Amino acid sequence: MEQKIYDYLLQLGDNSMILGHRLSELCAHGPSLETDIALTNISLDLFGQVRHYFQYAAKLGVAGKTEDDIAFLRYAHEYKNCLLVEQPNTDFAYVIVRQFFYDLYHLHLLQDLTESQDKQISAVAHKSLKEVKYHSRFSSQWMKRLGDGTAVSHEKTQAAVDYLQPYTAELFEMTPVEAELQEAGIAADLMAIKDRWQHDVMELLKEATITYPTNEFSHSGGKKGVHTEHLGYILSDLQYMQRAYPEMSW
């Protein structure tokens, strides 16, 4: 059971870490000072959550790894984040749409995890929920501004939605570990979350005058460790320090 909780914690942490890293790439490159600092704040929130998950995972002691080992010393196929969060910052619309899709998923996920039978997971969810409520407000507001803004912002937002929507189905795929932990009341029921997510996304896209793509095709693989080519580049940045100077610390 502890091994399964360990795997689940890594999966939760990896999503926040890779998305947090993507947002950190925008530090000092945001479209305005105000949005730059907002995105950096969100990135820091996510990294704070990662620390909670990985510290707990390290404490379980199943793999004999420290928090830093877990974060920095795994190979690409050992990261279990969804493909959505590793997609690049192509332009501001992509950043906002990726954030919007993920925030609404994250919000419902954490809401359910506050009820988790695992006290530690429930406590982290309680704390993170406040942060993610703000994230989803931020990205939802921007979706409306961009979608219902100028002809150019509308077109770019629609393009980002069309590109990123096929990556959203994977968020709701249950791995065998998740299914088993959900039986035990520890993990969230992603099927139930999917309905709520779809409802919220549709409502907001309507306000943002954006069309939800009708295609049935979807990408998947990240949760099994099969990633897009982007993850390798992310990890080479993220792991550089620990690989170049093993066991270094602040």
Partner 1 sequence: MSKEWPIWEVFIRSKNGLDHRHVGSLHATDSTMALENARDVYTRRQEGVSIWVVESINIAASNPDNSDALFDPAIDKAYRHPTFYKMPKEVKHI
Q: Which of 34, 216, 229, 247 binds partner 1 (CB under 8 A)?
A: 34
Helix axes 92-113, 190-207, angle to 10 degrees: 140
Contact 157, 208 (CB under 8 A): yes
With binding defined as CB under 8 A, does residue 151 bind partner 1? no
Nearer to partner 1 among residue 141 and residue 228 (C-beta): 141
Contact 19, 46 (CB under 8 A): yes
Nearer to partner 1 among residue 39 and residue 70 (C-beta): 39
| Smallest separation (angstroms) from partner 1 to the CB of 41 | 5
Q: Which of 4, 24, 25, 41 binds partner 1 (CB under 8 A)?
A: 41
Nearer to partner 1 among residue 38 and residue 160 (C-beta): 38
| End-to-end Cα, the chain, rounded Å | 34
Nearer to partner 1 among residue 54 and residue 138 (C-beta): 138
Binding flags for partner 1, 92-131, as an x/- string (CB under 8 A): ----------------------------------------
Give whole-number Cα distances, 239 to 16, 40, 73, 120, in Å: 16, 20, 7, 27
With binding defined as CB under 8 A, does residue 137 bind partner 1? yes
Q: Which of 136, 152, 130, 147 is nearest to 212 (CA)?
A: 147
Q: Which of 241, 235, 218, 226 is nearest to 171 (CA)?
A: 218
Query: Could you give the angle at the alpha carbon of 171 between the alpha carbons of 170 and 177, nearest 5°?
Result: 90
Contact 103, 132 (CB under 8 A): yes
> Quick one: tokens of 213?
């793509």
Stretch of residues binding partner 1 (CB under 8 A), selected from 100-108, 134-142, 221-229, 239-247: 134-142
With binding defined as CB under 8 A, does residue 33 bind partner 1? yes
Can you give the binding site for partner 1, defined by CB under 8 A?
32-35, 37-38, 41, 134, 137-138, 141, 145
